[in-house]
């Protein structure tokens, strides 16, 4: 009977799909369509099936219960109709793209070309065009598809504010400066702070560019396919500019100057002034290697993206329903502990700089205490003090790193040779070690408390669930409601409890309500609904990509990262080959010799130039076609979201421009122009206006009316006939126009 019901429902669904395409083509809404199709579908099924048998059949496959308890029948039909309409649109667009691709393919060939060349071009163009076609179809359906109407609406409405906490503010500012969801390239360039951050990434000396990339990797979201691909492309693109072109030009200049010096072995010779022969170059090279290591880690994350995404969903679901300061110090104590930690780190860095200047330390060895302090003490401590963890072992691992830093100093340096900067690392790690152990202990206590709470929750659910179906119905809760919630409104409380409108309460819903959602693993639907809620209702990009994959597919669309695996092989192969070749030619030189330093400089330059193939992904359509990732970026709060549509970006920029004009440069509306706002005004005037006076006047007039826009109306010179009449009235004297060609009262 279940099989026959499924066949009948399948036929009814096909019927509604055919009816839906026609109604949507006539301009009917999905709501009207779903209501009508529901009636006809039910009628079509019940025509040949007796009513009792029909109801039994529906209950067996779960449809009757769904409609009776939740009223989701109309919504399900809506979704089905939207999907069928989108498929119809995709079919039409694909037909046009096939014809367009055929024209391009035919245009590639010329008379007299060898058949081998023609076959090679056809074999390459065919698979590539299929990926381009998939990319164009995805973009088209996201912008026009019926399924994504709510998604587009949410994107246009998304707003966010900068965090108030200093570390989170710095992270959000860095991410928004490099990958803003709501700003264009020139919008970023008009922000003085964002422009400064962008230029730091292009500074090739002292390892500044590598440090910026490393910090960006630490700050960015690792569980987003586009962000992983984008980091690879951005990192290698910057490496091509700073490590390849700039380093190559600087190295060639230094090599020419030192090799043509009067005394090649003197102070101006290559032994002292050659490429790579500087006090900081080994430090720069080690940063480049660490940056490359992070790049390879990013490749591995990309290739295991589905596993990592499942883990992240579980982590987010846990964090969403637990205490924000679970197992952490209070905000004031946290700030004080961080200040003391940064004082220790600053002292360590200053003492190291002093040793370098005095010559008591030199080379890469001088920076070991700073690196250990930064990566094993300072960063872990600041992270664990501010980011709530649900387990004890992150704090325990950080404690082991601090203990290892102390052991490193005592093992490597004898007491008589220990310098002040090395002692400062010992003090810094000794300060952080007990804090890590306290945090680990608090997490152990919190986990034990969680288990006790979960036992109590399960007992409450067992008492409420009288029929033993694993869920609490409205009737079951109402029987004991006023004992649990005296004086509360039952309907209001039920609406808050029943988050999915299912008509009954699952264990996950009850756990969420009582602040214990991180202890219970819900169904896939519940977890996805929670992710939607946390992302402002837009939903995860993985969900969007899954819907797009259902509508159209290609060979690379189901593979995380697309063709990026080939580029990992290229990157590793180039670096290994360079090391093997250089080391085979410099075996006779000591490790600290200038010849080795110059050879490492050569590796850095060639390795940077070898990043050129990654620049192909900067071409239009290439990234989408070869990786099939939907573009994401960061909002002002540092959250990773889908990019705002370009039309909305332009509208927001125009609104910001009008506010600046009306406020005289006062962006925050406090009535005063502070230092940063004054710098913004100067920088904006240096770059030149984004809108003409006429465009500004029309925008203000349209939004605020003629009463406000009148003072911003640009001066228009009179026509020739009007000028002649004025000259006759003024006895032939030409009236002087207002200064600067604008009325006196114009701001």
Q: Are 520 and 511 a contacting pair, CB within 8 Å?
A: yes
**Rounded distance between C-alpha atoms, residue 370 and residue 379, angstroms:** 12
What pLDDT score does 433 carry? 92
**pLDDT tens digits for 711-736?**
878 777 665 565 555 555 555 455 55
Question: Which residue, of 399, 426, 445, is where some domain finishes?
Answer: 445
pLDDT, mean of residues 45-58: 43
In the predicted model, what is the mean pLDDT of residues 91-116?
A: 80
**402 lies in the same domain as 439:** yes
Domain harbouring 480, CATH code: 1.10.238.10
CA distance 380 to 382: 6
> Is residue 729 a part of any domain in this protein?
no
**Position 490 pLDDT exceeds 80:** no
The H or E element spanning position 633 is: strand 632-634
Chain segment 431-443, per-residue pLDDT in tens: 999 999 998 888 8
Do the domain assignments include residue 132? no
358 pLDDT more than 70: yes
Mean pLDDT for the stretch of residues 413-417:
68
Residue 633: beta bridge partners? 641
Quickly list DSSP for 125-163: HHHHHHHHHHHHHHHHHHHH-STTHHHHHHHHH------
* 742: pLDDT strictly greater than 60: no
In a domain, 121, yes or no: no
* Residue 238 and residue 266 in one domain: yes
Question: Do 520 and 484 share a domain, yes or no?
Answer: yes
Task: Give the C-alpha separation, 567 to 575, whole Å.
Answer: 12
More confident residue, 673 or 438: 438
Residues 352 and 422 in one domain: yes
Q: What pLDDT is stored for residue 515 in this prediction?
A: 61
* pLDDT given at position 213: 93
- Both 344 and 411 in one domain: the answer is yes
Longest dimension (CA), the chain: 107
Quick one: average pLDDT of 361-377?
78
The structure tokens 């039909």 sit at: 77
CA distance 91 to 551: 10
Is residue 508 a part of any domain in this protein? yes
pLDDT, tens only, 455-481 = 776 777 777 766 666 677 777 777 766
pLDDT at 668: 64
Q: What is the pLDDT of residue 631?
A: 80
279 and 172: one domain?
yes
In this prediction, residue 609 carries a pLDDT of 94
CA–CA distances in Å: residue 272 to residues 119, 216, 269, 276, 587: 56, 34, 6, 10, 21
Q: In sequence order, which ranges of 611-674 are alpha helices (DSSP H)? A: 622-627, 646-663
Q: What is the pLDDT of residues 638-663, one digit of tens each?
A: 888 888 888 888 888 888 888 888 87
Per-residue CA distances from 10 to 37, 48, 438, 545 (Å): 13, 15, 60, 26
Q: Give me the mean pLDDT over the 92-105 stretch.
A: 79
Specify if 148 maps to a domain: no
Residue-wise DSSP of 292-352 = HHHHHHHHHHHHTHHHHHHHHHHHHHHHHTS-TTTTS--HHHHHHHHHHHHHHHHHHHHHH
User: Per the domain annotation, does 457 fall within a domain?
Assistant: yes
| Range name among 134-138, 425-429, 608-612 with the lowest pLDDT average | 134-138
Q: Given a cut of 70, is residue 705 above it in pLDDT? A: yes
Q: What single-letter DSSP state applies at residue 378?
A: I
For range 193-219, the mean pLDDT: 90
Are residue 387 and residue 409 in the same domain, yes or no?
yes
Query: Does residue 159 fall inside a structural domain?
Result: no
- Both 330 and 437 in one domain: the answer is yes
Q: Mean pLDDT throughout 388-414? A: 84
Q: Which has the higher per-residue pLDDT, 504 or 194? A: 194
Q: Same domain for 170 and 297?
A: yes
Residues 270, 271, 277, 282, CA torsion sign: positive
Which range is most confident: 17-21, 294-298, 583-587? 294-298
Q: What are the Cα distances from residue 703, in Å, to 158, 502, 663?
A: 21, 44, 15
pLDDT at 222: 84
- Could you tell me if 415 and 431 lie in one domain? yes
- Segment 201-222 shows an average pLDDT of 90
Q: Which of 445, 468, 499 is the last residue of a domain?
A: 445
Range of the domain at 661: 645-714
**Digit-coded pLDDT (tens) for 219-238:** 888 888 888 888 999 999 99
pLDDT at 16: 41
Whether 347 maps to a domain, the answer reads yes
pLDDT of residue 659: 83
Higher pLDDT, 340 or 319: 340
Q: How many residues can be counted in the chain?
A: 747
Give tens-digit pLDDT for 128-152.
777 777 777 777 777 777 777 777 7
Q: How confident is the model at residue 390 (pLDDT cuts 50, 70, 90)?
A: low
Domain stop point among 505, 536, 567: 536
**47 and 185 fall within a common domain:** no
Beta-ladder partners of 505 = 472
350 shares its domain with 467: no
Q: What's the mean pLDDT when you consider all of the chain? A: 75
pLDDT, average across residues 33-55: 42
Instruction: Quote the number of domains for the chain.
Output: 5
Which pLDDT band holds residue 31 (cuts at 50, 70, 90)? very low
517-571 tens-digit pLDDT: 656 665 555 555 555 554 444 445 556 666 666 666 665 555 666 677 788 899 9
Q: Which two tokens stand for residue 640?
A: 């990773």
């Amino acid at each position: 009977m279940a099989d026959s019901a499924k066949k009948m429902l399948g036929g009814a669904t096909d019927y509604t799909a055919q009816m839906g395409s026609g109604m949507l083509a006539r301009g009917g809404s999905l709501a009207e369509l779903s209501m009508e199709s529901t009636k006809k579908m039910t009628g079509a099924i019940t025509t040949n099936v007796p009513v009792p048998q029909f109801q039994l059949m529906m209950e067996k496959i779960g449809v009757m219960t769904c409609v009776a308890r939740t009223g989701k029948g109309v919504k399900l039909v809506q979704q089905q109709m939207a999907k069928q309409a989108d498929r119809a649109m995709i079919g039409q667009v694909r037909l046009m793209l096939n014809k367009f691709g055929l024209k391009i393919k035919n245009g590639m060939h010329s008379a007299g070309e060898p058949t081998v060349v023609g076959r090679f071009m056809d074999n390459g163009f065919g698979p590539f065009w299929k990926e381009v076609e998939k990319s164009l179809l995805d973009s088209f359906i996201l912008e026009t598809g019926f399924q994504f109407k709510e998604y587009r609406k949410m994107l246009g409405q998304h707003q966010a504010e900068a965090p108030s906490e200093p570390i989170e503010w710095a992270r959000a500012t860095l991410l928004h400066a490099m990958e803003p969801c709501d700003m264009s390239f020139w919008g970023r360039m008009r922000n003085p702070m964002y422009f400064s951050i962008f230029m730091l990434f292009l500074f090739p000396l002292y390892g500044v560019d590598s440090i910026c990339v490393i910090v960006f990797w630490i700050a960015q979201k690792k569980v987003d396919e586009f962000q992983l691909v984008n980091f690879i492309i951005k990192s290698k693109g910057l490496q091509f500019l700073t490590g390849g072109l700039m380093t190559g030009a600087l190295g060639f200049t230094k090599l020419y100057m030192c090799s043509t010096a009067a005394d090649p072995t003197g102070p101006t010779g290559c032994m002292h002034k050659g490429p790579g022969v500087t006090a900081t170059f080994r430090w720069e090279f080690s940063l480049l290697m660490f940056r490359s290591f992070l790049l390879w880690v990013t490749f591995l994350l990309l290739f295991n993206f589905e596993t990592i995404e499942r883990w992240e969903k579980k982590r987010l679901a846990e964090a969403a329903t637990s205490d924000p300061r679970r197992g952490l110090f209070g905000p004031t104590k946290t700030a004080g502990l961080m200040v003391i930690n940064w004082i220790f780190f600053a002292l360590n860095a200053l003492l190291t700089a002093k040793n370098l200047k005095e010559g008591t330390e030199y080379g890469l060895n001088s920076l070991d205490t700073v690196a250990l302090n930064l990566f094993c003490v300072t960063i872990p401590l600041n992270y664990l003090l501010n980011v709530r963890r649900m387990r004890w072992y992150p704090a325990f691992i950080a404690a082991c790193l601090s203990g290892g830093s102390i052991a490193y100093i005592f093992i490597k340096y004898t007491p008589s040779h220990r310098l002040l900067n090395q002692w400062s690392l010992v003090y810094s790690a000794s300060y952080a070690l007990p804090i890590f152990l306290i945090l680990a202990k608090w997490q152990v206590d919190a986990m034990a408390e969680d288990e006790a709470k979960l036992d109590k929750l399960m007992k409450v659910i067992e008492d409420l669930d009288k029929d033993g179906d694993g869920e609490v119905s409205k009737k079951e809760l109402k029987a004991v409601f006023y004992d649990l919630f005296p004086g509360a409104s039952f309907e209001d409380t039920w609406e808050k409890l029943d988050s999915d409108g299912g008509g009954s309460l699952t264990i996950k819903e009850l756990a969420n309500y009582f602040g214990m959602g991180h202890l219970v693993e819900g169904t896939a639907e519940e977890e996805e609904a929670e992710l939607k809620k946390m992302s402002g209702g837009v939903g995860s990009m993985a969900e969007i990509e899954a819907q797009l994959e259902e509508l159209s597919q290609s060979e690379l669309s189901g593979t995380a990262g697309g063709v990026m695996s080939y580029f990992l092989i290229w990157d590793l192969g180039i670096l290994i080959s360079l090391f093997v070749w250089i080391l085979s030619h410099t075996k006779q030189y000591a490790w600290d010799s200038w010849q080795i330093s110059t050879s490492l400089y050569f590796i850095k330059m060639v390795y940077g130039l070898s990043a050129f193939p990654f620049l192909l992904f900067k071409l239009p359509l290439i990234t989408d076609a070869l990786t099939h990732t939907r573009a994401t970026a960061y909002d002002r709060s540092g959250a990773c979201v889908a990019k705002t549509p370009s039309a909305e970006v332009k509208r927001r920029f125009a609104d910001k421009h009008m506010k600046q004009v009306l406020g005289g440069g006062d962006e925050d509306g406090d009535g005063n122009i502070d230092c940063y706002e004054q710098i913004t005004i100067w920088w904006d005037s240096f770059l030149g206006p984004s809108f003409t006076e006429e465009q500004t006047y029309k925008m203000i007039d349209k939004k605020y009316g003629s009463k406000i826009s009148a003072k911003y109306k640009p001066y228009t010179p009179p026509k020739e006939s009007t000028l002649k009449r004025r000259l006759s009235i003024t006895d032939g004297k030409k009236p002087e126009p207002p200064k600067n060609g604008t009325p006196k009262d114009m701001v």
